[in-house]
Amino acid sequence: MSTVKDKQDLKKAHYVSEWSRIPLNGDPIWLKQLRIRGAHLFRDTEFPNTRMEEWRRTNISIINNTSYRSTPASPPIALTQKAVEPFFLKNPAATELVFINGRYNKTISRLPALPEGVAAGSLRRAIQSPLARVVKTHLGSCLQARNAYTALNTAFLQDGAFVYVPKNILVETPIHIIALTIPGQEPSAAYPRVLAVLEDGSQASITTHFVSLSEHQPYLANAVEEIILGPNAQLDYCRLVEEKAQGNHLATAEVRQDQNSRFNGFMAVLDGNIVRSQVCVELAGDGAECQLNGLYLNDGHRLTDTQFSVLHSRPHGLSRITGKGILDGDSKAVFLGKVYVHPDAQKTDSRQLNQNLLLSERASVETKPQLEIYADDVKCTHGATVGAPPQEVLFYFRSRGISEAAARGMLTCGFAQELIEEAPTHAIREYLSAHVLAKYAPKEIR
Amino acid sequence: MLEIKNLKASVNGNLILKGIDFTVNEGEVHAIMGPNGSGKSTLAQVLAGHEAYDVSEESSVTFLGQNLLELPAEERARAGLFLAFQYPVEIPGVSNAHFLRAALNEIRVSRGLEELDAIDFEDLLKEKMELMNVPATFAERFVNLGFSGGEKKRNEILQLAVMEPRLAILDESDSGLDIDALRIVSEGINLLRSPQRAFILVTHYQRLLNYVTPDFVHVLYKGRIVRSGGKELALELEERGYDWIKDEVMAAA
């Protein structure tokens, strides 16, 4: 009889065998070593399971039990820019970087001129350029050993998105990274990777957008993003997860902020089967500020897991975490906010709020805002709410002649809209508003 | 216009309204006064169609020829009934302009009129906001969110001006207002008075009636109208309080 461990070993053997077939392509030795470290870590780390505190409420055994093949380097169909244009931002000045199964596709990307010294493109290309030094310094540097899947991403690291903004440079137009998964005939996994480095006093807006052109083949997008903000740098960041119904998604973003830097993040999970959206910020310099806003729209039998953590390592840091979820059908959402205040992080100012709107009696939410404080002079709050649209509010609408169905629609859109207005990029706000309106608003009030 | 006969309503088995009769004609202003807990707000909510209240089958309320008690809340509004709430609710993420346009268009469609598009509505809202003397910022602010008590009441009156109902029930629109806000709210009400439009002012205090002169005053106590009269009744109540009425009711019992 096989034990749980034996089964895990079998699954792992599958990935190790896939891993051994990665073409070497003249990669520098440090990259090979990084991959080997990832592979070791993967082999020695248990798959995430409900016996682990962080995964207690999120059962991903369906992902663990699937032996995903690596997605093909070049997709079976040749893609034109026209095929990916629907994913482009409604801002013709935006840089549109298209990645297919984790690999950069320059021909179908749109590359307007960027300020001198700014790089936005392929990680693999950067390794062969004078920027190799930057990549080598930072790639894998702030990724903690979060779980077996983040290790697996590093083990399979071959390409990815690389954004570099030199000191005091302001990139005014948004950089939009489209991570497109096109699975093969069997269940396949893509390993999107992002590295963004903003030097001292620089500023940029980056959006990673996870989508798929898969019709019905199951797949896994296993993404890792690393974001490094130098002193006084400012990043507006959005993550949109819009996988297909048969697509699972595990994403981890690691953000390391130096002093007085500002990170304004907006993470939206719009679609996908099981989606885990994790962002881990370390406020590693004095006076650094971060805002983490998460929106998840669940229906059917979907499961989303939003994990935001902020580590306050230094004094005068500020963090704001807000999660908002709308749950319909038999869907389930998990929200875990975690703020850790180190003894050195005096004068920390932190707020956490998670609000959930239940549109169905069968939907469920597990919410757990957490605070761990080891400094004595701090201001930290947290709170959570879960509930259906209040009858008193519905009556107010109805007393103005608005039907209950229309009232629910307006209320639901408004609930999301309130958070959408916090999204840092205009084009993203428009995109999300339109999405929410199409999903929840009755026709007559659009 | 509105004919209330033997209106009895209870909530969770407690009888709050114990048989109310009165009639409101076009153009009239009726004040409903009474001590706390007498059932004033319940009367307003029952007329607007709040489902938390059970209305007795013996009761009848006719509004513009229709059986009001059969209509759900939204259809009462479409028929021309408006309730200004004592405690207006906050609606995050929905702007006043969006809310009011949706409301007005529901009413217009129910009357066979064309919907107003956003541009026409903007003109109309601007005109009403100037008329009601509310700041231009009201349009884009989320409905009542972060509004002060006075701003919420003024917002209710703005909604009244936009919806142009036949009958407006104002539930304590004067409570919690300072004298300047009270003046603005009363001026708004007076501007909206017309021979076709009737008002029911539910109020605890006589103060509002210094500015808006009622045609009739009814005193509600323990779920019944115990006295009706003209505007001089309000002055008498202001002078003598409610105790003498309570004593009279006790004596009669």
Q: How far is A127 from A346, CA to CA, in rounded Å?
A: 40
Contact B222, B38 (CB under 8 A): yes
Residue-wise pLDDT for A89-101, tens only, equals: 999 999 999 999 9
Q: How far is B103 from B129, CA to CA, in rounded Å?
A: 16
Question: Residues with Cβ < 8 Å from B125, sequence gap 6 or more?
Answer: B97, B100, B101, B139, B162
**Section A224-250 average pLDDT:** 97
Tokens standing for residue B209: 């009636």
Instruction: Quote the domain boundaries for residue B161.
Output: 2-252
Cβ distance A398 to B74 less than 8 Å, yes or no, reads yes
Contact A167, A201 (CB under 8 A): yes
Q: State the DSSP string of B115-181.
A: PPPHHHHHHHHHHHHHHTT--GGGTTSEETTT--HHHHHHHHHHHHHHH--SEEEEESTTTT--HHH
Q: Which residues pair with A240 in a beta bridge?
A: A209, A268
Segment A128-135 long-range contacts (CB within 8 Å, at least 24 positions apart) = A131/A162, A131/A164, A132/A28, A134/A164, A134/A197, A135/A162, A135/A195
Given a cut of 80, whether residue A446 has pLDDT beyond it is no
Per-residue model confidence (pLDDT) at position A1: 46
Given a cut of 70, whether residue A203 has pLDDT beyond it is yes
Q: How far is A357 from A324, CA to CA, in rounded Å?
A: 8
Q: State the DSSP string of A286-353.
A: TT-EEEEEEEEEE-TT-EEEEEEEEEE-STT-EEEEEEEEEE-TT-EEEEEEEEEE-TT-TT-EEEEE
CA B143 to chain centre: 18
Q: What is the CATH number of the domain that holds B148?
A: 3.40.50.300
| CB neighbourhood size of A137 (10 A) | 10
Given a cut of 90, whether residue B90 has pLDDT beyond it is yes
Cα torsion angle, A197, A124, A98, A115, sign: positive
Which of A391, A403, A445 shows the shortest C-beta gap to B74? A403
CA A237 to chain centre: 10
Contact A417, A387 (CB under 8 A): no
Q: How many helices (H) and strands (E) does chain A have?
A: 10, 21
**Section A152-181 average pLDDT:** 96
Cβ distance B93 to A396 less than 8 Å, yes or no, reads no
Query: Would you give the end-to-end CA distance of chain B in angstroms?
Result: 33
Q: How far is CA A442 from CA A412, A432, B102, in A?
A: 11, 17, 11
Per-residue model confidence (pLDDT) at position A3: 61
Per-residue model confidence (pLDDT) at position A250: 97
Given a cut of 80, whether residue A175 has pLDDT beyond it is yes
Distance from CA of A391 to the nearest CA of B (A): 10
Given a cut of 90, whether residue B239 has pLDDT beyond it is no
B225 pLDDT tier (thresholds 50, 70, 90):
very high
Residue B78: its chain A contacts at CB < 8 A? 401
Residue-wise pLDDT for A357-392, tens only, equals: 999 999 999 999 899 999 999 999 999 999 999 999
Tokens standing for residue A179: 């991570």
Nearest CA in chain A to B96: A414
Q: How many helices (H) and strands (E) does chain B have?
A: 8, 13
Contact B167, B198 (CB under 8 A): yes
Which of B51, B72, B89 shows the shortest C-beta gap to A393? B89
The number of distinct structural domains making up chain B is 1
A302 pLDDT tier (thresholds 50, 70, 90):
very high
B161 closest CA partner among B204, B193, B136, B120: B193
Q: How far is A314 from A355, CA to CA, in rounded Å?
A: 29
Residue-wise pLDDT for B154-182, tens only, equals: 999 999 999 999 999 999 888 878 888 88
Distance from CA of B112 to the nearest CA of A (A): 14
B210 closest CA partner among B25, B31, B23: B31
Query: Would you give the end-to-end CA distance of chain A in angstroms?
Result: 59
Q: How far is A204 from A173, CA to CA, in rounded Å?
A: 8
Tokens standing for residue A58: 């999120």
Per-residue model confidence (pLDDT) at position A354: 96
Residue B88: its chain A contacts at CB < 8 A? 396
CA B237 to chain centre: 21
A268 at interface of B, judged by CB pairs closer than 8 A: no
Cβ distance B73 to A444 less than 8 Å, yes or no, reads no
Per-residue model confidence (pLDDT) at position A431: 95
Task: Pick from B47, B89, B163 the residue to mutate for testing the A interface (most A CBs within 10 Å).
Answer: B89
Given a cut of 70, whether residue A74 has pLDDT beyond it is no
